[in-house]
Structure 1
């Protein structure tokens, strides 16, 4: 099903500020987001397609299955968890990973990340592409698109009435705040049964498998970061159609990613042994004789020595070992700086 016409493109207006205020943005954050091209691009695209931005930001969220989730074959367990927690998938897409995506998505945490964490994160996003799911907790709206979320018959045929929100659908806790809470914390020691990360086997601060936007405005921003214009067009068409065929799309994407990405071991000991063997093979003089691979400092020194001397190591082993033995933040008072 398609919307017959598009709305005219519009620049930043007082209506944009009103929208951001309605989804919880205020103070200095309001000025920041009014100047954020990703946020503005998202709002404009939603408006052109006739999808209500209030509803999209408040009742939808994004769930990014990172490269480590692909390596761990985490798609099926994620789908089971979403169904058990009454999340409805509206769209699935492959997201090209890379250093620029990492910096755009995690700009706040990136500013306090250690040099080592940045190096490890860059290695991780180069392992393979990611998968993003657009999900909603809105099960109430039924419309012209055979059960489309937030779509009424009049809204699809008459784009002057935007596809999107039914009365009261924006109130209460936002979908992305709920999903972020249910996903579980970044600290693996603080996780609990029932949380998504716990269900997937959360390993470390770095290898945390999945990502969600923290706030409704971040849903808008990250949607525009992850998907280009044609990708967003396809996403919104799926929203209008109510997510018809999305299960098949997820299965196809998982098959593509799995065929291109081997399963790997997440264990620290295996990674340490591989790194030590490669260090010895490449430059025996740089590897300590009979290193104690249970000592975090010894393993950290091996990785730093390899970087300093330009020694190529197995990227996955570096990621796994580094996630256990290297500091994750430049702030020594934070627990993950260990």
Structure 2
């Protein structure tokens, strides 16, 4: 396939592909019976929006219908999703951009939480693998993305240029999704993907426009995905509380050896040393205490 002027990566086209990788949905009968899976289009978009703004309020029941319509229009690349979603909020996007660049670990944790809640990661039918291949192919075909464009798709927060990205064979899922999502919402007007949506989801004369695209299916590069877990916040906080020069000394008493006089009590000091070099000393030496009960015994 050659580069196509109509195929564009933006927030709406990213979201369209993402929806195809959701966890298994409930059937229509199950929904009719009152069951809920929390994976509707608008709920998925709310989850994705919380990667940008984690304090996004849960909508009131009276707002649901409007938000459903906004999510549909965002998917169709008609606009930025209305006032509820942060995709058209310049301040929210600026802060998100800064967090990706300067607070990557925390922002990645939010994407990990989204993937855990909504995406069929590691499943038997490999929805996540097809999603990644589709996004890679879309990036390769989008001639509005320069070959030198950088994406924050690596687990350590560093970037890969487009030329490297389209040839990658090992990709960490959550960092990849974060980096592509970040580029799409911070650099591209959502209406740019309107023609792409029409190609993937053709009109049915007023009915629901189902996804019929096959992008990613024939991507020639074999991609192996890896997955990461959010880091434990308590562990991170504990490390942050430690001063680089902290030295913790623990005094441990041991019973005296049988061959030694009972009056000689041994004191063993264990040192736990934490610092920038992460050195750790378990045992230093034995110190013989010649004093018993505060007084020196005769003959010693």
| TM-score grouping bracket, smaller chain normalisation | under 0.3
Larger Rg, first or second structure (1 or 2) = 2
Q: Give the structure with the larger strand fraction.
A: 2
Q: Which has the higher contact order (CA 8 A, sep 6+)?
A: 1
Q: Give the structure with the larger helix fraction.
A: 1
Structure 2 length normalisation: TM-score? Answer: 0.24
